[in-house]
Amino acid sequence: MNARQITTSKGAIFNKSSMNTLLNNRKYLGIYIYGKREIIGGMPQIIDDDLFNKVAEKMKRNKKYPARSRAKSPYLLTEKLYCGHCKDMMTGHCTNKSSKSGIKVYNYYKCKNSGGSKPCKKKIVGKDIIEDKVVDECRKHLTSQNIRKIAKGVMALVKSFDDKAETQRLESLLKEAREAKENHMVTLRACKDDIVRDMVIEDLSRIGAV
């Protein structure tokens, strides 16, 4: 049995392909499918829409950026490295080769359009070689002046987040106060007991509504 296969307690075998089919099955949303027809609510829904959509989005990202889902070694340039020939994205890959000293792992970046019958002739690039080169280039730009600029920009960004959070908090408190006022006014209009009316008016005076 392939190492990527899973056997259930009932003996059913799942591999990567069948698992993808399972996770994309819209029948779990309560959609009955007959040929090309789809009947919403035609069968019991066992997975909520939000969870199904999150799984679909995760699978879409894993397919677009395969290095994220399968790499045992972190590829620092995932989503940032592009082929100089065809301008498409380069993704992380690894291969294992046996030798007398054991199994050696080779990590590298490869253009999505290279290999086999694909058109791009870009050769693979060693992971450490290209990542070290990028790090060295970044270090050249980390002068004292640039570091101060970066720090200033980061502090401004953090402050904007803090201001936004405080604004949202105050807006939330204002909304709660308005809702409380409205509820009190509804109670006041419906109340026929003078004692209760006086208590409601007192509450409204406390929050500045009257």
Which among 16, 40, 14 is positioned nearest to 26, based on CA atoms? 40
Rounded Cα gap, residues 14 and 23, in angstroms: 12
pLDDT for res 81? 92
Q: For residue range 9-55, list pLDDT tens digits in order.
A: 444 444 555 566 666 777 777 777 777 788 787 777 777 788 878 87
Strand partners, 37: 34
Please write the tens of the pLDDT for every residue from 156-174.
Answer: 877 777 677 777 777 887 8
pLDDT at 82: 93
Model-level pTM? 0.41
| Options 3.30.70.20, 1.20.1580.10, 3.90.1750.20, 3.40.50.2000; CATH of 6-64 | 3.90.1750.20
* 122 phi, psi to nearest 5 deg: -60, 130
109, β-bridge pairs: 92, 125
Single-letter amino acid, residue 122:
K
Q: From CA 91, how far away is CA 72, in angstroms rounded?
A: 13
Among 120, 40, 66, 124, which residue's Cα sits nearest to residue 88? 120
pLDDT at 86: 92
Q: Say what the alpha-carbon torsion angle 35, 39, 43, 46 is, to the nearest 10 degrees.
A: 100
Q: What is the mean pLDDT of residues 121-142?
A: 90
**To the nearest whole number, what is the mean pLDDT of the chain?**
75
Residue 2 to residues 8, 104, 145, 198, Cα–Cα distance (Å): 14, 22, 56, 78
At 76 the pLDDT is 87
